[in-house]
């Protein structure tokens, strides 16, 4: 146990030191993207991994978070950190509305229904240009004008290091929450539901309630990521709701190892740079090559390590990675 703790501590330490060692903003930018997607995948992991409900609709929460905090910030100068919480709460409420019908369904039906939800949100975001005083700008998307300097009130920083540490903190937070849930009583409930819902209900577990609870938490953090995204890229658009993004998120978690604590992080560490680098070095000349590579990895993992790349590692570092201690 302690061995794994130290390992974890070392990893965190390395992450904390990274910006001090690597001064190049481009790498820092890449690192932030990696952490952001690790965080997103980790938030998906709570519903998708712990509860085993493979949602294809996570981008909906990302989108809600981004739009809510941004609109609050632009029109009423609400500090994005506050907007982040509000967005999270709204996303959590929305997730009840999504979860209620979708959780009636299982397997492919569940996947497809959540997919349909992302499409609906995307279309609505694209078509609505004006809501009361708020101009959603339709497909054009909303740009948050850049305010110079480093300000936590505006959640805008000239130095990327700030963003880096914020998202790092968020990631560590969600990892602790994941771990706590997993060890808690209802973590065990979720695992039971994941393994066999009928059996779970037959021993008195109210599956629907716990699934929705998990989805709400998942949605809350997904929305937080949305706010971070908005403040980092200073631009949001309906694409945020796209099913493609949902799939990308779930891909990272699955490739890393759904349900495992560090899976999403590892997945992001592998996949995010690949898509970044291949785009940078192949993108121009060989259109689409990066997607071929991406698809290749996906196929390989599904065929040879469908549980993701963590479980094989898990044999060695049990306590840190294992699904259940």
Instruction: Choose, by CB under 8 A, the member of 1, 2, 21, 107 that binds other proteins.
Output: 107
**From 4-12, 63-71, 266-274, 302-310, span contacting other proteins (CB under 8 A):** 302-310
- Label the pairing between strands 235-236 and 134-135: unpaired
234 binds other proteins (CB under 8 A): yes
CB of 86 to other proteins, least distance (A): 24
Maximal CA-CA distance, the chain: 59
CA dihedral 161, 167, 170, 174 (to 10 degrees): -140
- The tokens for 195 are 């393994």
112 binds other proteins (CB under 8 A): yes
Q: Which is nearer to other proteins, 13 or 299 (by Cβ)?
A: 299
Annotate 285-317 with b (16+ C-beta within 10 A) or e (fewer).
eeeeebeeebeebeeebeeeeebbbbbebbeee
Annotate 112-139 with b (16+ C-beta within 10 A) or e (fewer).
ebbbebbeebbeebbeeeeeeebebbee
Q: Which is nearer to other proteins, 11 or 302 (by Cβ)?
A: 302
123 binds other proteins (CB under 8 A): yes
5 binds other proteins (CB under 8 A): no
303 binds other proteins (CB under 8 A): yes
Instruction: Choose, by CB under 8 A, the member of 42, 45, 95, 126 that binds other proteins.
Output: 126
138 binds other proteins (CB under 8 A): yes
75 binds other proteins (CB under 8 A): no
- The tokens for 120 are 């609906």
Restricting to residues 170-199, which ones interact with other proteins according to CB under 8 A?
185, 188-189, 191-192, 194-196, 198-199
């Amino acid at each position: 146990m302690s061995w794994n703790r130290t390992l974890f501590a070392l990893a965190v330490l390395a992450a904390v030191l990274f910006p001090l060692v690597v001064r190049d903003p481009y790498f820092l930018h890449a690192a932030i993207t990696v952490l952001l997607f690790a965080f997103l995948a980790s938030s998906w992991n709570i519903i998708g991994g712990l509860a085993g409900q493979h949602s294809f609709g996570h981008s909906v929460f990302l989108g809600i978070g981004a739009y809510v905090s941004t609109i609050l910030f632009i029109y009423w100068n609400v500090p994005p950190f506050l907007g982040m919480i509000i967005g999270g709460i709204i996303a959590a409420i929305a997730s009840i509305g999504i979860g209620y019908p979708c959780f009636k369904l299982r397997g492919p039906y569940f996947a497809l229904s959540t997919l349909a939800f992302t499409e609906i949100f995307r279309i609505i975001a694209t078509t609505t240009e004006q809501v009361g005083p708020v101009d959603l700008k339709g497909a054009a998307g909303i740009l948050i004008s850049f305010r110079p300097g480093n300000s936590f009130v505006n959640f805008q920083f000239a130095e990327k290091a700030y963003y880096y540490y914020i998202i790092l903190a968020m990631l560590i937070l969600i990892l602790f929450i994941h771990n706590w849930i997993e060890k808690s009583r209802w973590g065990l409930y979720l695992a039971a539901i994941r393994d066999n819902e009928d059996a779970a209900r037959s021993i008195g577990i109210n599956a629907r309630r716990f699934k929705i609870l998990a989805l709400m938490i998942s949605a809350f953090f997904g929305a937080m990521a949305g706010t971070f995204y908005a403040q980092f890229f200073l631009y949001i658009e309906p694409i945020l709701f796209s099913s493609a993004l949902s799939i990308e998120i779930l891909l990272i978690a699955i490739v890393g190892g759904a349900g495992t604590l560090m899976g999403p992080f590892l997945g992001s560490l592998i996949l995010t740079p690949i898509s970044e680098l291949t785009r940078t070095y192949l993108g121009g000349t060989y259109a689409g090559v990066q997607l071929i590579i991406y698809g290749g990895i996906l196929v390989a993992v599904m065929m040879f390590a469908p549980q993701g790349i963590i479980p094989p590692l898990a044999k060695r570092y049990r306590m840190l990675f294992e699904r259940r201690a």
